Amino acid sequence: MKHLKLAVLGAICAAAFANPAFAELKPGDKAPAFTAPAYLAGEAFTFELADALEKGPVVVYFFPAANTPGCNVEAALFSQAVDKFKAHGASVIGVTAGNVDQLAEFSSNTETCGGKFPVAADTGAKIAAEYDAVLDKKPGWADRTSYVVAPDGTIAAAYSDLNPNRHVREMLAAVEALEK
């Protein structure tokens, strides 16, 4: 019931920002390499995309801000599906410029990431800018845009929509398609 309430609240918040967004990086484009401070289950570490790609495809999902309704819904959905991504050899990283001081707690909270995947701090939305994933209405924050980066470092899929509900489904389908 709580997740349903969060989903409804997230949809309302997404409607409030109601500007359709479209990912600018396209399949086949080179994914910008990045290194960022990150948290997994509350523990700080440095995330490097290049290192993650050595193990398989990486879902890089940008979200506006930790501990906001739509972002909490999206994180919970990725947390619930992370084992499906792992079954296909893929890993997940969330990236945000908003509320980065709350990422340690957000990464371990059982109602968001649940310690199942890392989240990275993108202070100033610099990484988001490289991925053409900056929120138009709030340029210091990331838009809700998800990418699958193939092990060769190219974009395999992109999906952009402020509504958090389809990102997991779209990214999982893209990861599955890499195996075909």
For the annotated catalytic residues, the residue numbers are: 71
Beta carbons of 85 and 92 less than 8 angstroms apart: yes
Least Cα distance to 177 among 27, 53, 63, 52 occurs for 27
Beta carbons of 21 and 132 less than 8 angstroms apart: no
3-class state of residue 148 by DSSP: strand
Beta carbons of 139 and 97 less than 8 angstroms apart: no
Taking the mean position of all CA atoms in its chain, how far away is CA 88?
A: 18
Place of tokens 């409607």: 15
Q: What is the DSSP string of 77-145?
A: HHHHHHHHHHHTT-EEEEEESBSGGGHHHHHH-TTTTTTSS-EEE-GGGHHHHHTT-B-TTSTTSB-SE
Two structure tokens written together for 134: 């900056």
